[in-house]
Amino acid sequence: MPSLKVVNIKCGGCEQNIISSLEKKGLKNIKVNVAKQTISFNGDVSVAKKKLSQMGYPPADSKEANSLLKKTKSYVSCVIGKAKKK
């Protein structure tokens, strides 16, 4: 099972939106560890990286990891996830 170390995961809202979005891309058995900033799943790693980066959760070792735009996108994703939980 692949695992990615990403940045900007803040809460359960982020977790919920990540799981939902990756499932729509065909990934399975998605597990998000907020404390460790890791996501494990069954599926295509490149598909996961692309979707996560679009959402504001780029790989920790990427050039995008410190991007203000990515941080902003992650906050939007977080709010969406919190809204879906209610």
Summary mean pLDDT of the chain: 91
Domains defined for the chain, CATH in brackets: 3-85 (3.30.70.100)
Mean per-residue pLDDT, 8-23: 93
Q: Do residues 23 and 43 make contact, with C-beta atoms less than 8 angstroms apart?
A: no
pLDDT band (50, 70, 90) for residue 86: low
Instruction: Give the Cα-Cα-Cα angle 22, 26, 86 (nearest 5 degrees).
Output: 40
Show the 3-state SS of the chain. CCEEEECCCCCHHHHHHHHHHHHHCCCEEEEEECCCCEEEEECCHHHHHHHHHHHCCCECCCHHHHCHHHHHHHHHHHHHHHHHHC
Whole-model pTM: value is: 0.87
In percent, how much of the chain has pLDDT > 70?
A: 98
